[in-house]
Structure 1
Amino acid sequence: MNIKQPNAIADTADCEEPFNQSPAFLGHNAFTSDPLLVRLTSHLPQTVVQSLQELGQWAGSLAANDLARLANTQVPELKTHDAKGYRQDIVEYHPAWHSLMQKGVENGLHCSIWDEDRDEKGARNLVRAVRYILVAGTDCGHLCPMTMTNASVGALKSAPDILAQWLPHILSREYDASQRPPAQKANVQIGMGMTEKQGGTDLRANISSATEAGNQGWRISGHKWFMSAPMCDAFLILAHISKPEQEAGAKQSASPPQPSCFLVPRILEDGSRNGLHFQRLKDKLGNRSNASSEVEFNNSLGYLIGEPGRGLRVILEMVTLTRLDCISASAGLMRAALAEAVHHCRYRKTFGANLIDQPIMTSVLADMALDVAGATALSLRLARSFDRASSDKAEAAYARVMTPAIKYWVCKTAPALIAEAMECLGGNGYVEEGNLARHYREAPVNSIWEGSGNVMCLDVLRVMKQNPALLDIVLEMLARDLGESADRTIGELKELGRNTLENEGATRIFTEQLALVGAAAALHASDSGELAGVFAGTRLQGGWRATYGMLGAEHDARAIIEQVCPAE
């Protein structure tokens, strides 16, 4: 590409034409330009690979970028009442949002792991995770209802009769945004509401209540402090079952009451509203395209899912699946940010050379590329364990132990990496006209939603205390995949685990190291060659690292960049 060089003194016309700027990062294929994704899906049927190529072409297009931009700048608006003062509780979205939703539904982001597609059999979670990684680089907001709808099936399995009614509408690939009763719609979206003002993560502190209403179901009263995608057709919520009056004076149980899970439609069969009163929409840092509401339930009709008092167990079937999506979305944001930074540095000249050829920048980009590769390989390794968990106890152990550890590391790494990518572009990375500012504001939410960092660490600690045999199984699996460094690495991790049990304040250290060992193992098993070795050498055996650009001279930084983000 010929880049116009400035004259010593530029006239006004020259100043109006930019020079030494990188071209817009559009028109690329987000799938075929990612060698690791291509390699990790090479075993799939050609029809599946072709669908990933097509989605990757869309994800890197100007059209997709414009939809993401519009959906995040023309944010949703809550309309609580109509012109005559009647409640309507409607959230209006820009058409760009609906276009993104339509694309997601067409690609099965909301349901494909439950579908009967023969080509994806045995790899449905893996294929869906790849699609998530690709689409996350455009907009993550619309992925929220996709995530919840997909995961809702896991919870609804506790109520087979109800699932049978809803599943055909969930599996539909025909997006339907109409305001009609669910049974009259081609496709439905299902959300969830758990947290309340006073409890947050402590779901046992919820105060919303449910009163039995005979054969009609249950009547829900209370509130949810953070309920996203409020135009979903129904919501899985937690509420405490109110005791009958004759039991009011009975002796209290030694253990506190546990919440139950209910499915609450937004619109009833007769077309009337179901008492969901939306109070306001959250003014969020990021995730702007997606509305998140505060809602009150006013005698809303709900249907019990699972056994009374077992709501936490039911809803956790849903939460486990949503955590995989948080991981995949973060990996996708990281990949998109790195790709844009590398693209810019290939064109931008400073001090007589392209930025990518400046040694210190080369080291920064290569260091970032290692984390992107690790996050990608680890995300897909986890998805594979989800695919195999029902028939393989070892894979089930991997899914149980590694999900919180991987979510902790990948989702916490994303904001720092995207910030570094912004810095690679300088001021151009900090403006809202570009994508990186949006990605940066988006990234922290995946570490907050579905369990914050400390919650993930406590989940790992719970396994260590209550079922250490599961951790032993996982460490054996990691050792097999690590290769020559296995004995030392696993030995050090076991020692760290013993120390953590004596000092729970060190749980974050153990959780992060477990994830890093998992990433090194996933890269080694994926035949990533030099990437796996350098990742292990710098993340598991190197000195303290606080920022990117810490690679030693013994590593070929430029080769690492080309392996992760090859030049077109």
Structure 2
Amino acid sequence: MRVEDGFQPIAFPEENPYTSDLVLPSLLKRTIPRSAFNEIEPDLERLGADVITTIRAMGSGNRVAPPRLIQYDQWGRRVDELETSEGWRDLKAVGQKEGLPAIFYERKYQEHSRSYGFAKMMIIVGDSHEVFCPLSMTDGTARVIELIGSAEMKEKILPRLISRDPAVAFTSGQWMTERPGGSDVSQTETVATPTGKNNVLGPEYTLNGFKWFSSATDSHISVALARTGSVQDGSRGLSLFFVPLRLPLLRAPSEPLPPATSNNIFVHRLKNKIGTHTLPTAELSLDGSEAYLIGALNQGVKNISPVLNITRLWSSIASIGGLRKCLAIATAYAKVRTINGGTRLLQDSPLHVSQLAAISLVYRALTHLTFGVIRLLGKAECDVASPDELRRLRMLTPTAKAFAAEKACAGMEEAMTALGGAGYMEENGFGRAIRDSLVEKIWEGTTTVLALDLARAAQDPATLNSFLSWVKEVISSCPLDLRARLREPLDVLNDALSELAGSLKKPIAPLVPRPALILTGFVASSAFLLEHAIWAYVGRENDRETDVEVFQRWILEGGMVAAIEDVRRANLDGQTRATANSTIVFGGLSRAKL
């Protein structure tokens, strides 16, 4: 038989990622004022059309490829030239032209600008090949400069970080990770030495050290932590610095590009990663590199925190956007793939659709959770957040990032299996989406690191109470007839609240933080889903019954009951369990003597 004969599989249709989405349009309609939403939605519809036509094509074929490092030229001179692919550069330019991160600082829609910009990211991110990594750090750096940068930085650097013109726009990296510790910066070895000069951008220092992970090595600038105090001071002896990757940084457009080593920054090697292959991540040596102090001395960890908080939400959207694309592929495939001898579509198989519905539950919950936190960030940046909203933002930022990363990857794998063997093919994008999304479990803090961050935030009784009170207020706002229908899931939600209230108070048992973060993610996402269901129910929206069903299923079937039990188990005789864990992993005493 010739390949052209016999059964011919039908390719799934390419659908507009905004107009075909069953979650995002309704969420934005509820949370953004009507006048603003009426302006924003046509732009999102247009962007969705661009994704399936021009933007996706930019990342196809050989247009996007891993970066290449040329360390030495023909004559043995150190040049450290980093070559990136045409597709990578074009996709990054698309992000900038679309207003990322410009939208966040133009603030045309005030606190809703964050929701608008992140909605655009979510539509693109499944086809972005990780260009939002440098754009996320550019966003964070812009916020740091807006808050504590010198007047000259605000005048000369900030406009270029938030420019929509790729020809003049700067991107920024963020250099914290060193060999002695990943998320633990207390052992930072990079040393900053004052030169006694005042550069136009601020007090001048030289940096000497080694940065073990520098994502977006092709950026124009970076913010970096370096030691200005003693080693014994730990993280309290670190300051934050603005580092140009090439000197001079501020030059006329007609001037040639300075050499890559012009600021004594040397690329040791590019990282060989499981995923994010297009993203240039490197090990860097700083050998007397010129840098300028940002903010006060020895306040580096505090001063860089806006970068971490902002990039964690970018990370959360990256996780959800990857899941959105995988779910969209699986859903589209179900509409064209026939079974039972070609007499039935997959979409008509209850067993198959139940698998897709379970994935959709995860996507809906994660989207409402993350955009709920994004709204809090928007309010905070526009100085309209209440004290309780600021406390919830502090508690929910690490939660959203970790919870989205944990849940999205599993959902992507389920979506891949929904295509059977066709899902395992590299061409459809599942492989890259899963590989790239795995980094979100690590980048800007693993789940365990973020769980400890959540535990620290919850040690403030006002912070924990603001979260618990908010969830209770959402529950109390539920109409009586709807509350009667939702009695069982609301009982579970109240049970989870009681468990968190006791578990996150001092002293926290040693094994509690991680399961408590997962339970916090379940509780917060459920509260945001309930807010939406109440709005749809009261407003008699077309999808109101679906929104109510989603809330109910997420609590009863999504994993919250198991998460409650995990927290309870961690609270019971934690030391005994910790000892048993050690024996399970490393062996008992008899093993240790061998």
- TM-score normalised by L of structure 2: 0.82
Identify the residue that residue 148 of structure 2 maps to in structure 1: 158
Please tell me whether residue 523 in structure 1 is matched to residue 529 in structure 2. yes
**Aligned counterpart for 2:244 among listed residues 237, 262, 265:** 265
44-53 vs 324-333, greater mean Cα deviation: 44-53
State the secondary structure of the residue aligned to 1:89: strand
**Structure 1 pair 145–254 and aligned structure 2 pair: CA distance change class (3 A):** closer
Q: Partners in 1 of 2:550 and 2:560 — Cα distance? A: 15
**Structure 1 pair 422–309 and aligned structure 2 pair: CA distance change class (3 A):** same
415-424 vs 72-81, greater mean Cα deviation: 72-81
Please tell me whether residue 299 in structure 1 is matched to residue 288 in structure 2. yes
Q: Partners in 2 of 1:360 and 1:372 — Cα distance? A: 19
**Structure 1 pair 480–91 and aligned structure 2 pair: CA distance change class (3 A):** same
- For 1:426, give the aligned amino acid: G
User: How many angstroms does 1:459 deviate by?
Assistant: 0.8
User: How many angstroms does 1:349 deviate by?
Assistant: 2.1
**Aligned counterpart for 1:536 among listed residues 541, 555, 558:** 555
The CA RMSD over aligned residues, in Å, is 2.2
**Structure 1 pair 73–188 and aligned structure 2 pair: CA distance change class (3 A):** closer
Q: Partners in 1 of 2:242 and 2:208 — Cα distance? A: 13
Alignment of 1:151-550 (within 5 A): 151-156=140-145, 157-161=147-151, 162-176=153-167, 186-216=168-198, 217-241=204-228, 258-269=237-248, 271=258, 273-352=262-341, 353-389=344-380, 390-391=383-384, 392-465=386-459, 467-482=460-475, 483=478, 484=483, 486=490, 489-499=493-503, 501-526=507-532, 527=536, 528-539=547-558
Q: Partners in 1 of 2:560 and 2:285 — Cα distance? A: 52
State the secondary structure of the residue aligned to 1:410: helix
Q: Partners in 1 of 2:498 and 2:63 — Cα distance? A: 45
Alignment deviations for residues 446-501 of structure 1 (CA, whole Å, 9 cap, x no partner) = 12111110011001111222x12111111211222243355652343232442455
Please tell me whether residue 148 in structure 1 is matched to residue 137 in structure 2. yes
- For 1:262, give the aligned amino acid: F
* 8 Å CA contact 2:63, 2:87 repeated in 1: no
- For 2:244, give the aligned amino acid: P
State the secondary structure of the residue aligned to 2:427: coil
- For 2:98, give the aligned amino acid: N
Q: Partners in 2 of 1:92 and 1:220 — Cα distance? A: 25
**Structure 1 pair 348–24 and aligned structure 2 pair: CA distance change class (3 A):** closer
- For 1:492, give the aligned amino acid: A
**Structure 1 pair 194–255 and aligned structure 2 pair: CA distance change class (3 A):** closer
Identify the residue that residue 568 of structure 2 maps to in structure 1: none
Identify the residue that residue 18 of structure 2 maps to in structure 1: 31
* 8 Å CA contact 2:226, 2:238 repeated in 1: yes
**Structure 1 pair 150–111 and aligned structure 2 pair: CA distance change class (3 A):** farther
Q: Partners in 1 of 2:558 and 2:472 — Cα distance? A: 16
**Structure 1 pair 72–517 and aligned structure 2 pair: CA distance change class (3 A):** farther
* 8 Å CA contact 1:129, 1:379 repeated in 2: no
User: How many angstroms does 1:110 deviate by?
Assistant: 2.7
* 8 Å CA contact 1:479, 1:487 repeated in 2: no
Alignment deviations for residues 196-216 of structure 1 (CA, whole Å, 9 cap, x no partner) = 112111111110111111114
Alignment gaps of 5+ in structure 2: 199-203, 252-257, 484-488, 537-546, 565-594
* 8 Å CA contact 1:159, 1:306 repeated in 2: yes
State the secondary structure of the residue aligned to 2:23: helix
* 8 Å CA contact 1:70, 1:94 repeated in 2: no
**Structure 1 pair 134–32 and aligned structure 2 pair: CA distance change class (3 A):** same
**Structure 1 pair 436–76 and aligned structure 2 pair: CA distance change class (3 A):** same
User: How many angstroms does 1:422 deviate by?
Assistant: 1.1
Alignment gaps of 5+ in structure 1: 1-10, 177-185, 244-251, 546-568
User: How many angstroms does 1:417 deviate by?
Assistant: 0.8
Q: Partners in 2 of 1:535 and 1:499 — Cα distance? A: 22
Alignment of 1:60-209 (within 5 A): 60-61=52-53, 63-70=54-61, 74-116=65-107, 118=108, 120-156=109-145, 157-161=147-151, 162-176=153-167, 186-209=168-191
User: How many angstroms does 1:73 deviate by?
Assistant: 5.3
User: How many angstroms does 1:222 deviate by?
Assistant: 0.6
Q: Partners in 2 of 1:219 and 1:126 — Cα distance? A: 39
Q: Partners in 2 of 1:315 and 1:306 — Cα distance? A: 10
* 8 Å CA contact 2:492, 2:555 repeated in 1: no
State the secondary structure of the residue aligned to 2:157: helix
- For 2:189, give the aligned amino acid: I
* 8 Å CA contact 1:475, 1:490 repeated in 2: no
Q: Partners in 2 of 1:416 and 1:36 — Cα distance? A: 19
Query: Higher relative CO (CA 8 A, sep ≥ 6), structure 1 or 2?
Result: 1
* 8 Å CA contact 1:149, 1:189 repeated in 2: yes
User: How many angstroms does 1:542 deviate by?
Assistant: 5.3
State the secondary structure of the residue aligned to 2:512: helix
- For 1:302, give the aligned amino acid: A
User: How many angstroms does 1:513 deviate by?
Assistant: 1.3
User: How many angstroms does 1:356 deviate by?
Assistant: 2.5
* 8 Å CA contact 1:59, 1:137 repeated in 2: no
User: How many angstroms does 1:300 deviate by?
Assistant: 0.3
Identify the residue that residue 59 of structure 1 maps to in structure 2: 51
Identify the residue that residue 558 of structure 1 maps to in structure 2: none
- For 1:260, give the aligned amino acid: S
- For 1:199, give the aligned amino acid: G
* 8 Å CA contact 2:402, 2:441 repeated in 1: yes
Alignment deviations for residues 406-431 of structure 1 (CA, whole Å, 9 cap, x no partner) = 11211111111111111111222112
Q: Partners in 1 of 2:277 and 2:226 — Cα distance? A: 28
State the secondary structure of the residue aligned to 1:215: strand
- For 2:474, give the aligned amino acid: D
105-114 vs 494-503, greater mean Cα deviation: 494-503
User: How many angstroms does 1:510 deviate by?
Assistant: 1.5
487-496 vs 267-276, greater mean Cα deviation: 487-496
User: How many angstroms does 1:47 deviate by?
Assistant: 2.5
State the secondary structure of the residue aligned to 2:277: coil
- For 1:97, give the aligned amino acid: W
Q: Partners in 2 of 1:293 and 1:83 — Cα distance? A: 23
State the secondary structure of the residue aligned to 2:353: helix
**Structure 1 pair 478–32 and aligned structure 2 pair: CA distance change class (3 A):** same
Identify the residue that residue 555 of structure 1 maps to in structure 2: none
State the secondary structure of the residue aligned to 1:188: coil
Q: How many pairs align?
A: 511
Q: Partners in 1 of 2:503 and 2:92 — Cα distance? A: 47
Q: Partners in 1 of 2:140 and 2:411 — Cα distance? A: 28
User: How many angstroms does 1:131 deviate by?
Assistant: 1.2
Please tell me whether residue 21 in structure 1 is matched to residue 21 in structure 2. no
Q: Partners in 2 of 1:253 and 1:421 — Cα distance? A: 50
